[in-house]
Amino acid sequence: MTDPWARPPHQPPSPGEPPTQQIPQRGPYPDAATQQFPQEQSLDPATQQAPRATPAPPPAPAPQSYPPPERHPPTTPGGGDGPPPAKGSFLKRTFRDPLSIVLVLVIVLALAVAGLVGVELYARHRGNEVVAAATACVVQDSASASFGVSPFLIQHLTRHYGSISITTAGNQIRDAKGMKADIHIDDVRLADSGNSKGTIGALDATITWSADGIKQTIQNSIPLVGSFVTGVKTNPSDGTIELQGALGSIVAEPQVTDGGIALEVQQLTGLGFTLPRETVQPALDAFTGQLMKNYPLGIKADSIEVTDSGIISKFSTRNATIPAGEDDPCFAHL
């Protein structure tokens, strides 16, 4: 059985028949030499249908292209290729920004305030040292001084000082053992002249003298009576002090006399007998007179009070002249 769809065998041309000519095809078709015919599809024996064509794979996506990286000139002054920043550009940018101006002003103000505070503290400390040294020289004991809350620099520039507080250590005031002073000075005006350093408007002092200090001072200062005294007892009720001894006692009343302090003998006993007070009164007068001798600045006693632990007295002076350094070396460095 022959296949009806088979291609007939090639037969030679009959005699006298011209050879077959191939006519070129018009239009946009491929040349005969390269023209291809589609291959006939065979049927599927099971279904007698042509098999489905396999879909062609999708074309590959074209590669994505990226722009070339940008080149930036160096921004640092030493970068090389970039131009150097213009002079003054930083200052121009700074002062064009209001916030930068405010920050600069705040920093400058803070530095100025810090500098003033430092100078104020140093000057105040130095002033305290000078006043304390002058006081220590007068009372012959260590002392501390402090100025008030007013700015010290202004006081120093005007040479007008106010509210100065001074406290001594309490060991002694000159020859008086156990004596302590709390002093307040106001309205000090420094003005160098031939015979003075200036003036003090007001000085008030509270002097505390302990009973044990009174005993030590009498023992060291009064030869005859001092050897007799072994203790001191205070009597606030009647305002007297009792100088106690092994063989007797002396009862004396502290008083303010002519701007100074005096011990007025009220009773003298010895060996059980009352003795005339004139026996020891001259020695006590010499003793108290020596204590108040040569007090500077015209300081005078205002009041005196006997307490359980000793004696408290008030001293003051007004519009006092500060002596020059030649007259009193204690005030030479003011």
Residue type, 326: E
Q: Is the pLDDT of residue 59 over 80?
A: no
Q: How confident is the model at residue 193 (pLDDT cuts 50, 70, 90)?
A: confident
Strands 172-173 and 179-190, by their bridges, are: unpaired
Beta pairing partners, 270: 248, 273
Find which of 56-65, 76-85, 313-322 is predicted with most confidence, using mean pLDDT: 313-322
Q: Does residue 82 lie in a domain region?
A: no
Find tokens 């160098």 and name the residue: 192
Q: In the chain, helix, strand, coil percent, each to 5?
A: 30, 30, 40
Q: How does pLDDT run across 124-143, given as a tens digit for each residue?
A: 999 999 999 999 999 999 99
Each residue's pLDDT tens digit, 225-249: 788 889 999 999 999 999 998 888 8
Does residue 74 or residue 257 have the better pLDDT?
257
pLDDT for the residue 97: 72
d(CA 200, CA 318): 7
Q: What is the mean pLDDT of residues 152-156?
A: 91
Is 244 a domain residue? Answer: yes
Number of domains in the chain: 1
Owning domain of residue 261? 208-326
CA angle 50, 53, 58 (to 5 degrees): 175
% of the chain exceeding 70 in pLDDT: 70
Q: Check residues 145 and 258 and name the one with the higher pLDDT.
A: 145
Higher pLDDT, residue 21 or 155: 155
The label of the residue with tokens 């088979």 reads: 6
Q: Considering only CA atoms, which of 310, 331, 323 is closest in space to residue 206?
A: 310
Q: Rounded to 5 degrees, what are φ and ψ at 126?
A: -65, -40
Please give the pLDDT value at position 101: 80
pLDDT at 2 over 70: no
Whole-structure pTM value: 0.67
CB count, 10 Å around CB of 193?
9
Closest by alpha carbon to 127, among 148, 113, 100?
A: 148
Can you tell me whether residue 310 is helix, strand or coil? strand
Domain-embedded: residue 297: yes
Q: For residue 90, is it within any domain?
A: no
pLDDT band at residue 303 using 50, 70 and 90 as cut-offs: very high
Cβ distance 151 to 143 under 8 Å?
Answer: no
- 43 pLDDT more than 90: no
Residue 160 lies in a domain: no
Quote the pLDDT of residue 187.
Answer: 94
pLDDT surpassing 60 at residue 195: yes
Calculate the average pLDDT of the chain: 80
Mean pLDDT across 263-273:
79
Q: Which residue has the higher pLDDT, 41 or 267?
A: 267
Q: Are 269 and 249 in contact (CB under 8 A)?
A: yes
More confident residue, 25 or 234: 234
pLDDT at 34 over 70: no
Query: pLDDT grade, residue 276 (50/70/90)?
Result: confident
Res 334: pLDDT = 79
The whole-angstrom separation of Cα 131 and Cα 184 is 12
Q: Identity (one letter) of the amino acid at 218?
A: I
pLDDT tens for each residue of 197-220: 899 999 999 999 999 999 999 998
Residue 17 in any domain: the answer is: no
Residue 47 lies in a domain: no
pLDDT score of 68: 67
Residue 7 domain-assigned (yes or no): no
Contact 205, 221 (CB under 8 A): no
CA-to-CA distance for 178 and 208, rounded, in angstroms? 8
Q: How confident is the model at residue 69 (pLDDT cuts 50, 70, 90)?
A: low
